[in-house]
């Protein structure tokens, strides 16, 4: 048995996972950033203890924690953690001292990708890129069946590859980053822009107001035969597919796994993405990158974290 922890800005989710990647027990607590680094570390350790106690104090081979940030691969120190005050914290040593169990710290997107490889949509693959379409675009890389954190734990920032060099300004300092066009946040912005340009569009009936737009609004309008909604979806899918074709041409992974809220559209999203890639990729022959929907939802990060260091 292993324990996986997914540290998020809202919740700390933990679970007990068997060697096949099955999630046997799950529990989560609120992330209280006001408690500072020490408090958060204590909450993580308390969650680990609770998981053990609720499961008959079974033997735990290792504990893994996925954090929303950059972890130094050698020292395992948290270099940077988005919205959580864990910078320069030695979470690994703290957990190991308190529990006596080997601990491994890594990036949460890498954990999600590893989860999908161990027990989800990518179970038959060893070279996988997982993309999560959410507030930004998360990305975890799995090469040879293991997470690939890069030289500094900061790999997978596909959200910040350049889609349009003179495009929209990004918080990261670049312009035209991929996530400004292909994240859920981007789709919502594109939907609102279409509403403002098209006062007669069914987008208004569906969303009621600009404040109420979701990542589903444009898809729903398209299904209702609305031209403006269809155009938003067409353009969004093209932006997404340009970035994914870049991944295919560069890496030719066995699979690209798409997760996050927008992935719930399933084939409505994936079929045209696959078509675009097939028309634009450089590779020849029958063996090609498969584009698949993620299978594990939020559990992927807990399951994958449990296999850090394995």
Smallest distance, Å, CB 96 to a copy of itself? 23
Smallest distance, Å, CB 78 to a copy of itself? 11
Residue 132 near a copy of itself by CB under 8 A: no
Residue 205: is it exposed, middle or buried by C-beta count within 10 angstroms (0-12/13-18/19+)?
A: exposed
Residue ranges in 102-131 that form contacts with a copy of itself under rule CB under 8 A: 127
Q: 105 in helix, strand or coil?
A: strand
Q: Are 147 and 309 in contact (CB under 8 A)?
A: no
Residue 280 near a copy of itself by CB under 8 A: yes
Q: 25 in helix, strand or coil?
A: strand
169 DSSP assignment: B
Q: Which of 184, 168, 185 is nearest to 176 (CA)?
A: 168
Residue 80 near a copy of itself by CB under 8 A: yes
Task: Name the strand (E) or helix (H) holding 146.
Answer: strand 146-147
Q: Which of 111, 86, 100, 114 is nearest to 48 (CA)?
A: 100
Among 92, 256, 289, 307, which residue interacts with a copy of itself (rule: CB under 8 A)?
289
Please give the backbone phi and psi of residue 139, each rounded to the nearest 5 degrees, phi first: -155, 125
Among 14, 229, 253, 301, which residue interacts with a copy of itself (rule: CB under 8 A)?
253
The residue among 166 and 200 lying less far from a copy of itself, judged by its C-beta, is 166
Residue 28 near a copy of itself by CB under 8 A: no
Residue 283 near a copy of itself by CB under 8 A: yes
Tokens read off for 4: 């996986």
The residue among 174 and 223 lying less far from a copy of itself, judged by its C-beta, is 174
Smallest distance, Å, CB 58 to a copy of itself? 33
Residue 182 near a copy of itself by CB under 8 A: no
Task: Name the strand (E) or helix (H) holding 292.
Answer: strand 290-293
Number of residues near a copy of itself (by CB under 8 A): 48
Q: Are 87 and 36 in contact (CB under 8 A)?
A: no
Residue 245 near a copy of itself by CB under 8 A: yes
Residue 185 near a copy of itself by CB under 8 A: no
Among 40, 158, 195, 221, which residue interacts with a copy of itself (rule: CB under 8 A)?
158
CB atoms within 10 A of CB 284: 7
Please give the residue ranges that form the binding site for a copy of itself (CB under 8 A). Answer: 70, 72, 79-80, 127, 139, 141, 143-144, 148-158, 160-165, 172-174, 242, 245-247, 249-254, 279-280, 282-285, 287-289
């Amino acid at each position: 048995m292993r324990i996986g922890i997914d540290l998020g800005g809202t919740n700390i989710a933990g679970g007990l996972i068997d060697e096949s990647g099955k999630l046997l027990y799950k529990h989560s607590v609120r992330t209280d950033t006001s408690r500072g680094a020490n408090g958060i570390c204590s909450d993580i350790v308390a969650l680990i203890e609770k998981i053990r106690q609720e499961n008959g104090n079974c033997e735990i081979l290792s504990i893994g924690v996925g954090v929303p940030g950059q972890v130094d691969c050698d020292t395992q120190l948290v270099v940077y953690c988005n919205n959580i005050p864990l910078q320069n914290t030695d979470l690994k040593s703290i957990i190991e001292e308190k529990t006596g169990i080997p601990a491994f710290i890594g990036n949460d997107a890498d954990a999600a990708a590893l989860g999908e490889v161990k027990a989800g949509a990518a179970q038959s693959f060893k070279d996988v890129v997982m993309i999560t379409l959410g507030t930004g675009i998360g990305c975890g890389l799995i090469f040879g069946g293991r997470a690939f954190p890069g030289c500094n734990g900061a790999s997978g920032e596909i959200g910040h590859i350049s889609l349009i060099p003179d495009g929209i300004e990004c918080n990261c300092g670049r312009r035209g980053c991929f996530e400004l066009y292909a994240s859920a946040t981007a789709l919502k912005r594109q939907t609102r822009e279409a509403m403002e340009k098209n006062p007669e569009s069914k987008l208004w009936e569906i969303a009621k107001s600009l404040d109420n737009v979701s990542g589903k609004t444009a898809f729903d309008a398209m299904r209702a035969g609305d031209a403006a909604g269809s155009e938003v979806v067409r353009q969004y899918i093209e932006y997404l597919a340009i970035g994914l074709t870049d991944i295919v041409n560069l890496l030719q992974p066995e699979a690209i796994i798409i997760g996050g809220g927008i992935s719930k559209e399933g084939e409505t999203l994936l079929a045209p993405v696959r078509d675009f890639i097939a028309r634009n990729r450089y590779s020849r022959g029958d063996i090609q990158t498969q584009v698949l929907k993620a299978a594990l939802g939020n559990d992927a990060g807990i399951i994958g974290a449990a296999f850090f260091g394995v």
